[in-house]
Structure 1
Amino acid sequence: MELSLPREHGPISIRLIKSRDSRVLQQALLDNRGWLEQWEATSPDGVVSLDMRLGIRRLLQQYRDGLGVPLVMEYDGEVAGQLNVWGIARGSLASATIGYWVSESFAGLGITPTAVALATDLCFTELRLHRMEICIRPENAASLRVVEKLGFRYEGLRRRYIHIDGDWRDHYAFALTREDVPYGVLERWVSGQAPRDAANIPLADRNAAAPES
């Protein structure tokens, strides 16, 4: 895949991850353990070592195989976090899922919603995907605000969906299709046209996925 990267909006940009990003990303993950640990994917088979160089090699291989697009989020040229497009399916499904993390020091600057919008537009226009999904733990209020801002549509509760922070966790699923945003996710958001209630979660699902104590 040859994609038009980087993409940017103001001081915020996304670009393809590089092998030389391993040191700064690994340090960011270590520095933000308390901030990120409760949202990190884990393995039911036991502890997995944090080797960012190996992780980047695997992500870039998935990119070469057409299965994902591993991106770095930057603010004024400084690495702020990661955004991964993963699980790319072609053919009749033509879909993918987005996951991301941002360093605590960059929180509140609009980086994540902007990067998600840029990445979704990239997938719709250049990868010609039809549907993009984001799955979020009920406890993750910051990520829920991202899909609310961008007008992602709530599509249901996935019980014990992903192994996170040592156990199988419920997730809310949100999605957009290409028809939802004919002029792009970013344009719809910055022009104030994103629907404000698309990401609303029914009370029954909120109760069924009550945050764990």
Structure 2
Amino acid sequence: MISRTYDLPGGVDLRIATLKDAEALAEAVRENREHLSPWEPRWPENYFTAEGQAARLRDRLVQYEEGRVVPWLMVREERVVGAVTLSGIVRGPFCSAYLGYWTAADQLGRGLASAAVRHVCEVAGTELGLHRIEATTVLHNVRSQRVLEKCGFEAIGSAPRYLHVDGEWRDHRIFQRVLHDEPPVM
């Protein structure tokens, strides 16, 4: 379990989400709905409510307890300004996870995403013992691709019609970062 809070630029904390964050998270996704829509699925309306976010957080926190997901939030003065999630965590000989993240529109260009991704990679390698992290972006999300490259990810290929994003099956670039080459704990 990850228990620490990490300091990011501009007085932003990176910490594990809790159920108490549902209202602030709902407010953040409502405020950033248009900004995030080109990069995300078309969510049902309840996704943008405190109840919808509470249900999503409950599910994520169960998975967190099981060691399958780590849901971080970027928070400044109780306002959610972004999120980073490691999901699909697999142990054994694979020791890998998927990375997803977003930053509020009014926080772009401040280095928050890069700082958060760097911290998550450090924790994933040292505390979680993961060997590798994978991330994908839609082809035209150059800003996110730059974040990944700055954080040591390398492009390893593309996947046609990979995810249903903004109403269509979208091609994605696939990135990975190998964190270490230590043998897995079996």
TM-score of the superposition, structure 1-length normalised?
0.77
| Counterpart secondary structure, 1:144 | helix
Per the alignment, in what secondary structure is the counterpart of residue 179 of structure 1? Answer: coil
Q: What's the CA shift for 1:77?
A: 6.2
Whichever of the two has the greater Rg, that structure is: 1
1:59·1:68 contact (CA, 8 Å) conserved in 2? yes
- Are 1:40 and 2:37 counterparts? no
Map 1:21-170 → 2, pairs under 5 A: 21-42=21-42, 47=44, 49-50=46-47, 51-75=52-76, 78-170=79-171
Q: Which residue of 2 aligns with 1:3?
A: 2
Gap regions ≥5 residues in structure 1: 181-213
Question: Could you say what secondary structure the match of 1:22 adopts?
Answer: helix
Shift, 1:78, TM fit: 4.1
CA distance in 1 between counterparts of 2:68 and 2:168 reads 26
Q: Which residue of 1 aligns with 2:184?
A: none
Equivalent pair of 1:95/1:130 in contact (CA under 8 Å): yes
| 1:170-193 deviation per Cα after TM superposition (whole angstroms, max 9, x unaligned) | 11111111238xxxxxxxxxxxxx
Tell me, in whole angstroms, the C-alpha distance in 2 between the residues paired with 1:120 and 1:143: 16
Taking only aligned residues, the RMSD between alpha carbons, in angstroms, comes to 1.8
The Cα offsets for residues 41-94 of structure 1, whole Å up to 9 and x where unpaired, read as: 347xxx473111111111101101111000101346642111111000010100
- Matched positions, count: 176
Gaps of 5+ in 2: 182-186
Residue 57 to residue 28, structure 1, CA distance change in 2 (3 Å): same
TM-score where L is the length of structure 2? 0.87
